[in-house]
A = this chain, B = another copy of it.
Amino acid sequence: MPAKALPDALADILGRVRARRPLIHHLTNWVVMNDTANITLHAGALPVMAQAREEVGEIAASAQALVVNLGTLTAERLEAILVAAAVANQRGIPIVLDPVGAGASAWRTASALHLLKERRVAIIRCNRAEAAALLDQVGTIRGVEDVGRDSAEERLTLAQHLADRFQTTAAITGPRDVVSDGKRLLAVDNGDPLLTTITGSGCMATTLVACCAAVESNGVLAAATALAAFGLAAERAAQAARGPASFKVALFDHVYNLGPADLAAGARVGWLHRRES
């Protein structure tokens, strides 16, 4: 695909979300439940947040994508996740996984790995530390932020390894977001540092990835659309923000107002060559 065509392809995917209004079933954490339901609506899709074992299979079957977010995980929710994810796999409904807190506890990491072993996940959206934990590289990455280190390079390597190991598309976000399906590599440079000052910005990005995956089977393009749109909305929101809370209000407004033409003009995305590692 020529470089010129990429922003247009993303704009087309965003337009499809708005036109089709896909239903996005979330099995997600309590902290971000309100925010991710809202951002689903603002993106043009429809949220449903049902969690009960008694109904998650039926709800998942009616959705066009399933978000599995492991924040504030409980044993009961993990059980419901496995039920919903089985239905999604049977019906070809894409699962987008956010392994929140992988590496923060042995149980959380093991739960994420169990899910990845038992169910097919279309896209993993996570940060560098979570990716490293899933790849059992916790020791080299945990702790404070590695200032002065080439993190984008490290995210590239981790994304490729995640994609290879779990036969999935991996989207690792940071100052530069990287996306890989094991064959292709893509980078997104939209975003703003204020995203790190609010809770759940990663979870919001994951929700937008699912909105796009519901209308686009190419996982790399779906993730790139969501991350570029979210980053572009953040750039616009940052302009008038007086702090993290007014930034968040503006971020949500801009996600709602961002049209396909805005994305075609403002997306800073590009293919990268696969690096040997």
Contacts and interface: CB of A to CB of B under 8 A. Distances in A.
A200 interface: yes
A90 interface: no
Contact of A199 (B47, B50, B199): B47
A37 interface: yes
Interface in A45-72: 47-55, 58-59, 62, 71-72
Interface in A128-186: none
A258 to B, nearest CB: 10
A105 interface: yes
Interface residues of A, number: 53
A261 interface: no
A73 interface: yes
B249 A253 contact: no
A55 B252 contact: no
Nearest to A32: B34
A192 interface: no
A31 B49 contact: yes
A271 to B, nearest CB: 32
Copies of this protein, total: 3
Nearest to A249: B245
Contact of A58 (B38, B59, B106): B106
Contact of A33 (B31, B58, B59, B242): B31
A218 interface: no
A124 to B, nearest CB: 20
A92 interface: no
Contacts of A254: 243
Contacts of A52: 72-75, 107
A104 interface: yes
A244 interface: yes
Contacts of A251: 245
Interface of A: 29-35, 37-38, 40-42, 47-55, 58-59, 62, 71-75, 101, 104-108, 197-200, 242-246, 248-254, 256-257
30 contacts: A30-B30, A31-B37, A31-B49, A33-B72, A34-B35, A37-B199, A37-B200, A41-B198, A42-B244, A48-B101, A50-B104, A50-B105, A53-B75, A54-B105, A54-B107, A55-B104, A55-B105, A55-B107, A58-B105, A58-B106, A242-B250, A242-B253, A243-B252, A243-B257, A245-B248, A245-B250, A245-B252, A245-B256, A246-B249, A246-B250
Leading 7 A-B pairs by shortest Cβ distance: A243-B253, A245-B252, A55-B105, A37-B199, A54-B107, A55-B107, A245-B249
